[in-house]
Amino acid sequence: MTSLFLEPFSGLSGDMLNGLLIDLGGDADKLRLALQDFSIGEYKVNVERTEKSSIYGIDFDVCIKNHGKDTGIKNDFAHHHHHESRGLVEIVNMINGSGLSGTVKEHSINVFNDIAKAEATVHNVGMKEIHFHEIGAIDSIVDIVSFFILWEQLDIDKVYSTPITEGSGTIHVAHGEMPVPVPAVMQLRKNYPLKIIQDFEVKTELVTPTGLALFKEIAPIFISPTDMYVSKVGYGFGKRNTGKFNALRGSLLTSKHSKQEVRSNNDEVIKIEVNIDDQTAEQIGFAVDKLFENGALDVFCTPIQMKKNRPGVLMTVLLKTTNFNKIAYLVFKHTNTAGFRYQTMKREVMKREFKSVEFEHDVVRAKEYKYKDITRRKLEYEDCASVAEKRGWSLYSTYKKLQNLF
């Protein structure tokens, strides 16, 4: 499992989010194939690898075929009145009747509902009556559905984000002038803990309703993750000329320690043991890092006395049975050993679920462990340490304060 770290320093839009997921490894051909299960009209999904400030990323575009011609027009609001408009019920029925996966359907419908609610409030109509202009157009539907198809491909389990930057001033759309943040974005912000800062140098919209609704659906937590490795960095480009670097950056993160939820009380793991007497402490430390980066559940070294009176280490690696080939390869790559012992072991574990508690402006992650009638909750050390450091508190008093909020 992988986590995603988002940096919306130039806002959020459907194009940026889709472009980013493709740059992070989402497969555009598989996406086009999956979209064939969903018939909404004639369009083309254009994915171009291009650069801004010599930084390469993905420009994602849905081009609508208008009267048999490919217009190449996308997300420029002024053009949207040419597009078909659809109501919420029609869109939900289309999604439900498609061959898309259950998860893609559920997330997409949630996003449509969220936007419909916001638009209905702004324009003072009922949710069912609202005939979306933007959202009903093919490109907006494709933006939303595509995002969750790519999301499913990348198998992301957790999302983190820095605060979202929004622009300022006003924008012109078909219905007239709108303040930034646009009214639908303001509605989407209601009763949802978002961190948004406005850049008053940027006199245009950075956060679109679609971008924000997608962001809410994947529910990032606003903290900088610690104890993780960045394994890939991507950029999804925005369309507007903002006068600044207009892209959404995101990184895939691999956990140093296993952060997976555990839903069963027992499983199987493999234990590998290697005796090493001819490598430096630096080389051993490096090997341990590589094994953790590649999904080892635990790696530890025990001092041992080896033959010819050589002090050595016994390196023990615990891993999932499915990760054996990769870890075996890395053991041979990073240690000098010509062989190792291993055994499959049964493991009894407590069920583990992730929780979080909010404290002032911080979010502190926690784990809840369960086994039969036993429940134990543990706050994440890194988050408690950061709360303690910010306020000059001891770790002990921080744990005591936060534990009560749980």
Ligand X SMILES: O=C([S-])c1cc(C(=O)S)c[n+]([C@@H]2O[C@H](COP(=O)(O)O)[C@@H](O)[C@H]2O)c1
Q: Give the binding site for Ni ion (CB under 5 A).
A: 119
Residue among 196 and 314 whose Cβ is closer to ligand X: 196
d(CA 212, CA 215): 5
The gap between the terminal CA atoms of the chain, to the nearest Å, is: 26
The partner in contact with residue 251, picked from Ni ion, ligand X, none with C-beta cut-offs of 5 to 8 angstroms by kind, is: none
Exposed/middle/buried for residue 175 (C-beta within 10 Å: 0-12, 13-18, 19+): exposed
Residue among 171 and 363 whose Cβ is closer to ligand X: 171
> Per rule CB under 6 A, is residue 87 in the interface with ligand X?
no
Q: H helices within 254-303, ranges in order?
A: 281-293
Residue nearest to Ni ion (CB): 119
Among 7, 205, 380, 383, binds ligand X (CB under 6 A): 205
The partner in contact with residue 173, picked from Ni ion, ligand X, none with C-beta cut-offs of 5 to 8 angstroms by kind, is: ligand X
CB of 12 to ligand X, least distance (A): 9
Exposed/middle/buried for residue 212 (C-beta within 10 Å: 0-12, 13-18, 19+): buried
> Per rule CB under 6 A, is residue 140 in the interface with ligand X?
yes
d(CA 380, CA 85): 47
> Per rule CB under 6 A, is residue 134 in the interface with ligand X?
yes
Give the CB-side neighbour count of residue 255, counting CA atoms within 13 A.
16
CB of 81 to ligand X, least distance (A): 9
d(CA 167, CA 155): 31
CB of 216 to ligand X, least distance (A): 13
Q: In what order do the strands lie in the sheet with 374-379?
A: 351-359, 362-371, 374-379
CB of 185 to Ni ion, least distance (A): 10
Among 182, 288, 313, 384, binds ligand X (CB under 6 A): 182
Taking the CA atoms of residue 132, residue 137, residue 140 and residue 141 in that order, the dihedral angle to the nearest 10 degrees is: 90
Q: Are the CB atoms for 117 and 127 separated by under 8 Å?
A: yes
Residue among 119 and 166 whose Cβ is closer to Ni ion: 119
Residue 301: enclosing H or E segment and its boundaries? strand 298-306
Among 3, 10, 13, 335, binds ligand X (CB under 6 A): 13
Residue among 171 and 301 whose Cβ is closer to Ni ion: 171
Tokens at residue 302, please? Answer: 């025990």
Residue among 82 and 347 whose Cβ is closer to ligand X: 82
Among 3, 10, 18, 75, binds ligand X (CB under 6 A): 75
Tokens at residue 199, please? Answer: 């850049």
The partner in contact with residue 18, picked from ligand X, Ni ion, none with C-beta cut-offs of 5 to 8 angstroms by kind, is: none
CB of 57 to ligand X, least distance (A): 18
The sign of the dihedral angle between the CA atoms of 196, 202, 205, 207 is: negative
Binding site for ligand X (CB under 6 A): 13-14, 75, 77, 119, 122, 133-135, 140, 173, 178, 182-184, 205, 208-210
